[in-house]
Amino acid sequence: MRVDKEYINKLQKESQEIRDTLVEITSKNGGHLAPNLGVVELTQSIVEVFDLPKDKLLFDVGHQSYVYKLLTGRKDKFKTLRTKGGIGPFSDPKESNFDFFIAGHAGSALSAGAGIAKANPEDKVIVVIGDASIANGHSLEALNNIGENLKNLIVILNDNEMSIGKNVGSLSKFFGKLMISNAYMNIRKDVRSVISKGKVGNQVKSVLERIEHSVKQFFLPSSISEVLGYQFLGVIDGHNLEELIKTLTVAKEMEGPVFIHVKTEKGKGYQLAEENKEKFHGISPFNPETGEVESGGRTYSNIFGSKLVELAESDKSIYAISAAMVKGTGLGDFQNRFEDRCIDVGIAEGHGVTFSAGLAISNKKPYVAIYSTFFQRALDQLIHDVGLQNLPVRFIVDRAGIVGEDGKTHQGIHDINMFLSMPNYRVLAPTTGTELEEMLEFSKDFKDGPLAIRFPRGKAFELEGTLKNKFELGIWKEVRKGKKNLYLVTGAMLKEIVDIEAELLRKGLDGTIVNCSSIRPLDENFILNEFSKYENIFTFEDGYERGGFGNEVVRFLNEKKMKININIIALDSVAIPHGSRNVLLEDYGLRGKKLIERIEGSINGEK
């Protein structure tokens, strides 16, 4: 490919236009700004060099795919990013044929890319993966398995931190350029040809191979990739278009697998993001001039973090564990105050869960704070290492229920049925911020097994006058007294029922509202003594119906041979797309008018 000054200038102008668009749209819609600012030139170069979509490009996680969306026919719709029916937050084949494989969770791209490369040997398959994701166990398994077998696979390490290659320096950069020069590639090809044809003795062959290996080990952070069977190129400046295009052009002609190490700067080109990379990694709508985000009040995550600090001040056995989400889960202050007791395991949820089991079996009090959607990644460890041993690990299930704009890969709608399917777990869902604090206070000295405490994203709900009685495990509390109808409400659904309470009353649908924040154990005495007093009984939850809270109530009734009909208000087992949380809640019948219609329809015998 001919790379002249005019061509590069044109691409550089496009780079600035892309960055301006990224800032403009994410300031209105929110999103992953800093990661995308860092991969502008890299993405441009990939699009220029490869024959997409015949060649396949996969982004691990997919949060850094905004630039790719802009360059592959989605520019006109980009203003709809993360809104209902608009451009999605991650890679999705249903959105474009340029997105070959769905993304959202870390570690899948290498495995998927390997499978795609195996099935499509005539096409190039390019995988872009970050320096955090590549340390994930899933990624390492794939790297190990791929080996020398796939000649059409190109792995690009997007290194935007100092965790990889921080001591490389200028000599490594020089040698990286040397490795992709025509002279070097020709010499390398000739030497390997001579060796392969047996034109030198074994002793000379061994010396040549050792020299090549030693020199590259001295200059480059390539030893791991080459031991695993990859040809290594790098380290490449991820913002130098000319260098990127030349490197990718060489990689395209090589028989792989090829591993390219690219250094980028997260937040590149937008000063506020360069200065505060973590804040702008994933951000709500903000003022593009100041970077300020409108305060939404005290969140459940904030409450958890503050309360845990309070508890840890007087109890040195309390530990906090996070999987690359310390600040996101409200643990920033805890980390500052108790650095030795705050363990960030990185994108390694399975390890984090078993690590916490080790703490618990050693009489420590671990609190494992992970987003609901990412707990799915540790299913085996939750069952085998914690559940079977009945260890008192406290699992803080953040972002439970419908989370909104991050879409179907991030909705927290699997956790209730997941934890209910495991042995020995107690499952709690606070209905207010105050109740979350009470649960955390209770959890501190709970020793009878694992606890899962789930709460939604965003501002904490508080009931006027608060709940009359403090949280007790296995005890449900009446919030409002009524007659014919019984509304059993768990977690975030209390707010939704309270919000429509006046309309229910107007329609003659009012009833007793009960706070069922203890999902397991159920309040068996309440069920046995109170259910028979009501004509219509409803359960409400913001997760899947199958295996959820309502099903747990039905199971208990069946065990006791009580013939009482239960109307379960929950989600069907469908993928929930992206959009604002409130809009999605109403669309799926868990909020406002649609929720009233579901209640009314159930009472009238409608499906």
Phi, psi values for residue 50, rounded to 5° = -100, 160
Q: Is 286 helix (H, G, I), strand (E, B) or coil?
A: strand
- The Cα–Cα gap between 591 and 239 comes to 46
Q: What angle do CA 381, 395, 338 make, to 5 degrees?
A: 110
Record the tokens describing residue 150, joined without a space: 């796939």
Is 377 among the residues known to form the active site? yes
| Active-site position among 349, 435, 496, 545 | 349
41 close to 240: Cβ distance less than 8 angstroms: yes
H or E stretch covering 568: strand 567-571
| Nearest to 409, CA basis, from 32, 14, 11 | 32
- The Cα–Cα gap between 124 and 122 comes to 7
β partners of residue 344: 322
| Active-site position among 266, 277, 477, 598 | 266
The C-alpha torsion from 144 through 150 and 153 to 157, rounded to 10°, is 20
- The Cα–Cα gap between 216 and 195 comes to 18
Phi, psi values for residue 541, rounded to 5° = -155, 155
Looking up tokens 């990689």, which residue turns up? Answer: 251
CA distances, 519 to each of 426, 464, 492, 501, 510 (Å): 8, 23, 13, 23, 23
| Active-site position among 74, 365, 377, 581 | 377
| Nearest to 596, CA basis, from 508, 467, 523 | 508
394 close to 563: Cβ distance less than 8 angstroms: no
The C-alpha torsion from 104 through 547 and 300 to 398, rounded to 10°, is -30
Is 349 among the residues known to form the active site? yes
Q: What is the largest CA-CA distance in the chain?
A: 95
- The Cα–Cα gap between 303 and 297 comes to 11
Known binding residues for Mg(2+):
131, 160
Is 477 among the residues known to form the active site? no
107 close to 410: Cβ distance less than 8 angstroms: no
Known binding residues:
63, 104-106, 131-133, 160, 270, 349
CA atoms within 13 A on the CB side of 130: 23
Record the tokens describing residue 482, joined without a space: 């009524």
β partners of residue 458: none
Active site positions, annotated: 266, 349, 377
